[in-house]
Amino acid sequence: MNGRSHPDILDELFRGEQGSGPVSGLEELEALIRVCLPKAAPCNKAKLLPLKRRQANSKRKTTHYLREDVFDGLTQAKDILLRLLPEGSKSKASKSNLVNHAVNQLLREIEEKGLDGPLVKSILGKIE
């Protein structure tokens, strides 16, 4: 120990200079720490968070096979729209956007008319 009137316990601990006996005041320090610590709230099981609705602009890459004539029609529709749309709106004429509109139109028709819609009848007619 050094010759100070109040020994630096932390310094002695870091330097390894403490004696073989227990450090005086250690029990009081531990008791003070325990008293000052906030009481731990009982932890409940984590609640499941509700699923968030996907944002309208979220995308997922996917691959679907189209007949060649359908693919050519999609390309032709894109090219026609690119010529017709004003300069600021040309990004709306992507193949992905055209497919999104077609699928949304089909879903809207199914919701409104059920099996009686012309698109659904056309699809079912080709299946049967």
Question: Per residue in 71-125, pLDDT tens?
Answer: 999 999 999 999 998 888 888 889 999 999 999 998 899 888 888 888 888 888 8
- As a whole number of angstroms, the distance between CA 8 and CA 3 comes to 10
- 29-33, 47-51, 69-73: least confidently modelled range: 47-51
Mean pLDDT of the chain: 79
Q: Which residues fall within 8 angstroms of residue 7, CB to CB, at 6 or more apart?
A: 1
